[in-house]
Structure 1
Amino acid sequence: MTIENAMVLAAGLGTRMRPITDTMPKPLVPIAGKPLIDYALDALKEAGVRRTVVNVHYLAEQMEAHLSAYSGLEILISDERAALLNSGGGLVKGLKLLPEGLVYVMNADLFWAGDGKGETGNLARLARFFDPATMDMAMLLAPTEKATGHDGGDDFRLVEGGELIRAREATAETGGQGVIYAGAIVLNSRLFADAPEGAFNLNIYFDRAIKAGRLKGLLLDGDWATAGTPEAIAPAEAVVLRHRASA
């Protein structure tokens, strides 16, 4: 199954990346010679996506200039200059620019290296994993031992059957594996038919799906990285360069 539409969430302020982001939006910060957002766009293109929405807010003109020069994808801009809409509100606004149906949703500042190409890549694997009969969302996950730059604990526990629960709600009886959200989801945009107006956090829908047993996850191939602060750039670049050298 090839998913042809996507949205990349890229409208954040990048405050933890200052002073670099005093003059540059975080999605354009280069990691091993490539802007952060291009890791997401390249992965989407490799997976067969043809059209993606990107939301913009901070230093939006720089984002638009970069995206207009990116080749191989039709890129639509969801403009949040007037007001940030948080992850959920921004997603809902952006999805209105796309046909209703299956989409990838990606974060602009989380990426991975070392997976396969085409049908063996992480996004293609995630699309095959998604089952609308049993899932509201399928989430790509990173095992803690394959994560670079993450300065918090586990986000979820991946338990038997692929279901996810919040790590903070896990008990000794829960079992499963501690994992980190890797920055990619597959969902059907109809999920947001009842979405509230304005700004809201996407965690509302994560928690709703968890309660219904319909948030499930897939472990990524390769290594995952995030660059949330200037100090995290070098370790993230090391991940990329290691995989480039072995390719």
Structure 2
Amino acid sequence: MTIKQAMVLAAGLGTRMRPITDTIPKPLVKIDGKPMIDYSLDALAEAGVERAVVNVHHHAEQMLEHLRSYTRLEIIISDERERLMNNGGGLAKGLKLLDPGDVFVTNADLFWIGEPSDRPSNLRRLAGFYDGNQMDMAMLCVKLEDTTGHNGKNDFNLANDGKLSRYREQGPKPVVYAGAIAMNTSFLDDAPDDAFNLNIYFDKAIARGRLYGMMLEGHWLTVGTPEAIGDAEETIRRYRTFA
């Protein structure tokens, strides 16, 4: 299955990235010469996505200018300049700009490298893994040891049947949420119009036994502070050397 539409969450303030984000939005901070959001957009385009909603707030004009120049897929803007909606509210608002149906959800400041060249990409695999008959969300997950820049904490336990539950030390395989989801837009049909955290819907899916996870292939990076830029770029160089 090919998922042809997506939502990229890109409206955060990037407060931990100050002073860099005093003058530039976090998704446009360059890592190894490439704006962070372009890692996400390129992965979506490679997976067959044709159009993506991107929400904007902080330094929105810079975001709009950059996104106008991105040509690999159609970009639709969800404008949050008047009111920042948190990740859940931003997603619910943005999904209204897409057709009802299956969709990817990704983050503008989380990305991965080192996917095996002889296998489908992580997002193509996630689209194939997602089954709306039994899943509310299919989440891309990664082992803690395959991350750079993360806070060192696991998010979920992944059972043998693919179901996810909130992390507990004595639970099955511990994993980190890698910032990509396949889902149907209808799962957020009952979402409030106000700002809210997407964790509400993670917990809703868990309670219904319908939150599933699939393991990422490669290495996952998150860049939350100015100091983390160097670590991310060193990891990228290391993977390029061994490619």
Q: TM-score range by the shorter chain?
A: over 0.9
Identity %: 61
Cα deviation, residue 13, structure 1:
0.1
Tell me which residue corresponds to 2:225.
229
Give the aligned partner of residue 157 of structure 2.
157
Gaps of 5+ in 1: none
SS at match of 1:179: strand
SS in 2 for 1:139: strand
Q: CA RMSD in A?
A: 1.3
The separation in 2 between residues aligned to 1:158 and 1:22, in whole angstroms, is 38
**Counterparts of 1:96 and 1:134, CA distance in 2:** 23
1:83 matched to 2:79? The reply is no
What pairs up with 1:20-59 in 2 under 5 angstroms?
Answer: 20-59=20-59
- Indicate the residue corresponding to 2:115 in structure 1: 115
2:213 is equivalent to residue 217 of structure 1: yes
Deviation at 1:240, TM superposition (A): 1.9
Q: Deviation of residue 119 (structure 1)?
A: 6.4
Contact 1:110–1:182 (Cα < 8 Å) also in 2: yes
Counterpart residue number, 2:189: 193
How many residue pairs were aligned?
243
Per the alignment, residue 14 of structure 1 pairs with 14
Rounded to whole Å, the distance in 2 between the matches of 1:151 and 1:119 is: 29
Distance 1:48 1:118, change over 3 A: farther
- Output the CA distance in 1 between the equivalents of 2:214 and 2:201: 18
Structure 1 counterpart of 2:124: 124
Contact 2:142–2:216 at 8 Å: present in 1 too? yes
Q: TM-score scaled to structure 2, two decimals?
A: 0.97
Q: TM-score, normalised by structure 1?
A: 0.95
CA positional deviation for 1:233: 0.8
Distance 1:57 1:228, change over 3 A: same
Report the Cα distance in structure 1 between the residues aligned to 2:199 and 2:117, rounded to whole angstroms: 30
Which amino acid is 2:76 matched to? Answer: L
Q: Is the 8 A contact 1:47 1:118 kept in 2?
A: no
* Deviation sequence 1:44-100 (CA, Å, 0-9, x none): 000010100000000000000000001111001000000101111100111111111
Q: Give, in whole Å, the separation in 2 of the partners of 1:190 and 1:34.
A: 34
